[in-house]
């Protein structure tokens, strides 16, 4: 029941953000009651450890950084703000199948694919937003798409992951 309510809340927030994105930038922010969660001393250290575990294909350590009812939302967005392929996944058991997806790795997942670096890192309370910028272009000179990743934490675990692939080649 709590997971269903949380998912409905995230869908409403994302629907509002999609509507507003034409004119402004919007981030889904979920407030956390301080009495249920103590702040984590270094959220960026957790983000780095999560990506390192994903890059090494270490599923158990990677999943240990997530809450049981973690929510992952991802879509591609064109330069005109058009959203394509909105997907929502709830719970560790569902996310495990997506840990190899784009936006969850820094190291190249195959030959001739880019490595990514985190940049433009911003933190506000229990939320971190950063860009994943590719280190190269396709052989034909077309750029690889960058990502914007937002993570919301509950204590020292990731509760929400939002990944937006910025389509730049249109």
pLDDT of residue 81 exceeding 90:
no
The pTM for the full model equals 0.75
pLDDT of residue 20 exceeding 60:
no
Backbone angles phi, psi at 69, to 5 degrees: -105, 40
Q: Is 101 exposed, middle or buried (0-12, 13-18, 19+ CB in 10 A)?
A: middle
Question: Using one digit for the tens of pLDDT, what is the confidence trace for 95-105?
Answer: 998 988 889 99
Percent of residues, the chain, with pLDDT higher than 90: 52
What pLDDT score does 2 carry?
Answer: 56
Among 159, 136, 158, which residue's Cα sits nearest to residue 146?
Answer: 136
- Tokens at residue 8, please? 């409905």
What pLDDT score does 82 carry?
Answer: 67
Question: Using one digit for the tens of pLDDT, what is the confidence trace for 23-79?
Answer: 223 333 333 333 345 678 899 999 999 999 999 999 999 999 999 999 999 988 887
Give the domain ranges of the chain: 2-166
Please give the CATH number for the structural domain made up of 2-166: 3.10.450.50
């Amino acid at each position: 029941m709590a997971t269903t309510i949380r998912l409905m809340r995230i869908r409403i927030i994302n629907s509002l953000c999609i509507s507003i994105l034409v004119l402004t930038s919007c981030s889904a922010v979920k407030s956390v009651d301080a009495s249920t969660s103590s702040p984590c001393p270094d959220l960026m250290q957790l983000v780095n450890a999560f990506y390192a575990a994903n890059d090494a294909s270490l599923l158990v350590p990677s999943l240990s950084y997530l809450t049981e009812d973690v929510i992952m939302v991802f879509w591609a967005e064109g330069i005109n703000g058009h959203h394509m392929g909105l997907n929502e996944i709830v719970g560790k058991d569902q996310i495990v199948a997506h840990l190899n997806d784009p936006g969850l790795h820094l190291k190249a997942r195959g030959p001739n694919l880019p490595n990514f670096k985190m940049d433009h890192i911003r933190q506000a309370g229990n939320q971190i937003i950063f860009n994943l910028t590719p280190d190269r272009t396709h052989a034909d000179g077309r750029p690889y798409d960058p990502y914007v990743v937002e993570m919301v934490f509950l204590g020292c675990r990731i509760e929400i992951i939002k990944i937006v692939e910025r389509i730049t080649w249109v």
